[in-house]
Structure 1
């Protein structure tokens, strides 16, 4: 049996990093104060690129791709542990009117202010993401059902009382609509089904007048036909092994 010959290590200075370094510089990323192309310096470049690819550029929150990965991990954890997990989705109310009246730069300031406000009322273990233009989502692991409405209302109130300065001497107030749903416990579900449940509550909050929170009742958090199919498929797979 022939032993494979390991490929020779290349000199790090042969790597074409100009584009990556320009991207990090434009994003304001910090690199370690180490000898360029040393192991410590290269690790810093890789870490900064990973951080940049997982964060929303405007708010610094987790971006949609990373959030979907976090949702998948949480769905798996809930299925194995049975611990409750809450998903909140929220929209800034009448956001188009903000852009039309005050300009897109003001819209960006509103998005940043809302992102800070909702981040201030969650736990370090929670995951807050910007998943669209004026859309945010939060995963709250190990969140009891009795606490769901409370934390959603706390976010809504935090935003509602926040003045956002959109120009020198000019502040406006904005509100949010929030929808929430718990992941089904002990059930192999999917991120898509969980998000659909929370979205239904968000649409209900908007339909009922906005600036409110709507939560899926625990008694309604039943196993859907799709989830039953996933559960039975997993059981049959285990039986055949």
Structure 2
């Protein structure tokens, strides 16, 4: 069995790395070719460019490309494990008024401040992304429906109470509308449909007055005690028009043994 030939040594002088080096010029972790091996230096450049390609340049959050990759992984995880997940879509209310009143530089400050506030509200395992414009998205793995509304409401409340200094001596506050949708356990969800459902709830939050949370809860498939009891009754006996005695629950019989 033949082995692959060893790669030829890398000559950095033969590569056009000026643009890559300029993009990463502010990254202190990138060492000089003289201080490290050419291969190690090139790997640092590649890793740095990959990181840049997955980040929103203004806020430093995950961009749409990374957000989509996270959704792909999360859908697979939900299908395998049966755990639920929550997707939140958030939009800054009346953001155009901020830009029109204070200017676009102030709008950028607001976007950065909201991004930092949102980052302080999520877990390390969650993914926070700038979806576009003044819209953000959060993917929350393992988030039960019972807790989803409390999580979203906490985010909304913290954003509302945070003052943003857009210039010396001038602070403003903004609010966000939040829409969310849960995945169905054990179901291979369609990512476009999942996003569409969360977007629909965001639109609902906007139309109902903004600065509020609207969630699309999964259907409750729990069988109540009454329904369970009815499952173990025979149909009426047509000769007597009386209900036959109940059938014992197999689980109860097993427990008595």
Scaled to the shorter chain, the TM-score interval is 0.7 to 0.9
Query: Where do residues 132-151 of structure 1 align in structure 2 (5 Å cutoff)?
Result: 132-151=132-151
After superposition, the CA RMSD in angstroms is 2.0
Query: Where do residues 30-69 of structure 1 align in structure 2 (5 Å cutoff)?
Result: 30-34=28-32, 35=35, 38-69=38-69
- The answer as to whether partners of 1:181 and 1:197 remain within 8 angstroms in 2 is yes
Quote the Cα distance in structure 2 between the aligned partners of 1:37 and 1:17. 16
Q: Which residue of 1 aligns with 2:81?
A: 81
Q: Which residue of 1 aligns with 2:156?
A: 156
Q: Does the alignment pair 1:130 with 2:106? A: no
**Which one has the bigger helix percentage?**
1
Q: Which residue of 2 aligns with 1:29?
A: 27
1:220, distance to aligned residue in structure 2 (A)? 8.0
Q: Which residue of 2 aligns with 1:229?
A: none
Quote the Cα distance in structure 2 between the aligned partners of 1:64 and 1:110. 20
Q: Which residue of 1 aligns with 2:254?
A: none
Quote the Cα distance in structure 1 between the aligned partners of 2:7 and 2:125. 42
Quote the Cα distance in structure 2 between the aligned partners of 1:70 and 1:189. 14
Cα distance per residue 1:154-210 (max 9 Å; x no partner): 110110001111111011110000001011221112211110110011000000000
Q: Which residue of 2 aligns with 1:99?
A: 99
- The secondary structure found in structure 2 opposite 1:151 is helix
Task: Report the TM-score when normalising by structure 2.
Answer: 0.80
Query: Where do residues 9-20 of structure 1 align in structure 2 (5 Å cutoff)?
Result: 9-20=9-20
Change in CA separation of 1:200 and 1:37 when aligned onto 2, cut-off 3 Å: same
1:58, distance to aligned residue in structure 2 (A)? 0.7
Cα distance per residue 1:87-125 (max 9 Å; x no partner): 000000000000000000000010011111111011100
- The secondary structure found in structure 2 opposite 1:178 is strand
1:51, distance to aligned residue in structure 2 (A)? 0.8
Query: What 5-or-longer segments of structure 1 have no aligned partner?
Result: 222-241
1:8, distance to aligned residue in structure 2 (A)? 3.3
Cα distance per residue 1:10-58 (max 9 Å; x no partner): 3233211011111222xx3233335266333222211111111111111
1:2, distance to aligned residue in structure 2 (A)? 10
Q: Which residue of 1 aligns with 2:172?
A: 172
